[in-house]
Amino acid sequence: MENINNLTAVWIASHGHLKPLRDHLLLLPDQLNPCPACAGSAAIHIRAHLRFGEASWIEEAKILYCPDCENFTLEEVERSTICLKQPELTGFSVTAVEARLWFNQPTFLNIEPTTRCNFNCWYCVGRHMKQEDINIDNFTKVLDNFPTVKTIALVGEGEPLLHKDFFTMAHIAKERGIRVMIISNGSALSQSVVKKLCEAEIAYIGISIDSVDPATFASSRLDGDLPKIWQGIERLSRYRDEQGYRYPRIGVKGTLFANTEDELLAITEEAKRHGVDIFESFQALNPMKTYIPIYPKEKLVELAHLEPVAAAIHRDSVVANRILQPISEFCAEEGIELAKAGRPNGLRKNCDEQWIYALLSGDITPCCQIKTPIDPQWNLFDHPLADILREPSYENVRFNLWNGLFPDYCEGCWKTR
């Protein structure tokens, strides 16, 4: 007799390339379940839309997948819950599955313009990457291959204003009606650069500030001159306002450590005094496994302080968002779709990035924390974004991330903790 709760054949017929990773980061014991098909003990829940009969769809049903027997099962308790709400589905088989539940209509692109920088911050992975710039031809290819892009963040592991063709790229984007945002260390805000930033209508420039004390600032942002950075911010804010420009709006962000965890509000107040408009975000030291090897040995002690630093940032960000305009409010006003959280799956922490991140090489990675190309088919120099979004291995990565099944390279990300 046919087991109408075994969805394996229907799943494979619908999209056999979507499959939970066998080697994902460990789940908590209460996330593992017995398998009704093989009596294994490591089955996991995932979400998918299910079609019953010819036309009745149930959204985000809970399905059990067993890595041992590779069966997809609609558990009897889930079927009963569905039929209790819709009795007319009682006895019907599932005839189709749709598990592409992640966000797939991006309009925001973050691409690295350069990995070069005039600072030597000890916690920056960019100092350990090949030092190079994107070229104009490849930048143009990216725009051609991403025709729905509305906003570009020219942001990466370098200082974007060091790229000799930065303003050429900004004007190319502007001519296509694309907004440009950048993150800068604030060191290059000379009068000529300030004038060009305003003329190019750069929508937003975020300045990274780690401390209000110049010596402490220089100890993390090596080669950084904090008084010079404040002067540059004032120069930009004053010129923008005096010349009647609306943009760029100026934001503040940074990284805090054990000895600076209580400085967020002082930095915010000082930033406002020097002409900053927007509070973006602060973070603790990045604990991802791909970053830890670059940290100096004497700095590894910082990893033991991540939780209190993060708690202090969370506490003080509430007040900081009253002192300055929150970045989310600015983006909403400007129609900039910068949301990164995406939709939860109701099962466990997940990842549903709503923007596209590309390395300087044009290679798309799942997020800005992943610095190694994953698949040559995901390259924006060579392939239209629409094709990349439909590429089977890309879809499978997004499927797993949306379901909270994280690859090894995600270890350390806050979404996995």
In 66-111, beta strands by DSSP E: 72-73, 94-98, 108-111
Task: Kindly report, residue by residue over 246-264, the tens digit of the pLDDT.
Answer: 999 999 999 999 999 999 9
Of the ranges 1-15, 120-134, 290-304, which one carries the lowest mean pLDDT score? 1-15
For 391, residues 6+ apart whose C-beta sits below 8 A from its C-beta are: 375, 377, 378, 383
- Rounded CA separation 247/197 (Å): 8
Of the ranges 54-58, 319-323, 335-339, which one carries the lowest mean pLDDT score? 335-339
Q: Which of 277, 283, 372 is nearest to 331 (CA)?
A: 277
Quote the radius of gyration of the chain (alpha carbons, Å): 24
Task: Kindly report, residue by residue over 68-104, the tens digit of the pLDDT.
Answer: 999 999 999 999 999 999 999 999 999 999 999 999 9
Q: Which of 25, 17, 12 is nearest to 415 (CA)?
A: 25
Q: Which of 259, 271, 255 is nearest to 321 (CA)?
A: 271
Q: What is the pLDDT averaged over residues 23-45?
A: 93
Beta pairing partners, 63:
46
Q: What is the pLDDT averaged over residues 261-279?
A: 98
Of the ranges 188-192, 273-277, 336-340, which one carries the lowest mean pLDDT score? 336-340
Q: How confident is the model at residue 27 (pLDDT cuts 50, 70, 90)?
A: very high
Q: Residue 300: pLDDT above 50?
A: yes
CA dihedral 21, 24, 29, 33 (to 10 degrees): 0
Instruction: Name the pTM for this structure.
Output: 0.93
> What DSSP element (H or E) covers 154?
strand 151-154
CA dihedral 50, 52, 54, 57 (to 10 degrees): -50
Quick one: pLDDT at residue 1?
38
Q: What is the pLDDT averaged over residues 170-181?
A: 97
Q: Residue 338: pLDDT above 90?
A: no
3-state helix, strand, coil in the chain (%, to 5): 40, 15, 45
Q: Which of 64, 81, 85, 91 is nearest to 7 (CA)?
A: 64
Largest CA distance in the chain: 80
Q: Which one-letter DSSP state was computed for residue 372?
A: S
CA angle 123, 128, 130 (to 5 degrees): 145
Q: Let me know if 407 is exposed, middle or buried by CB neighbors in 10 A (0-12, 13-18, 19+).
A: middle
**Which residue, chain included where needed, has tokens 């390259």?**
379
For 413, residues 6+ apart whose C-beta sits below 8 A from its C-beta are: 288, 351, 367, 369, 406
Quick one: pLDDT at residue 2?
56
Cβ atoms < 10 Å from Cβ of 394: 18
Quick one: pLDDT at residue 414?
85
Q: What is the pLDDT averaged over residues 293-309?
A: 95
Structure tokens that stand for 66 in this block: 């067993």
Quick one: pLDDT at residue 379?
98
Q: What is the pLDDT averaged over residues 154-165?
A: 95
Task: Kindly report, residue by residue over 375-401, the tens digit of the pLDDT.
Answer: 999 999 999 999 999 999 999 999 999
Average pLDDT, the chain: 95
Q: What is the CATH number of domain 108-334?
A: 3.20.20.70
Angle between helix 306-323 and helix 264-273 axes, rounded to 10 deg: 30
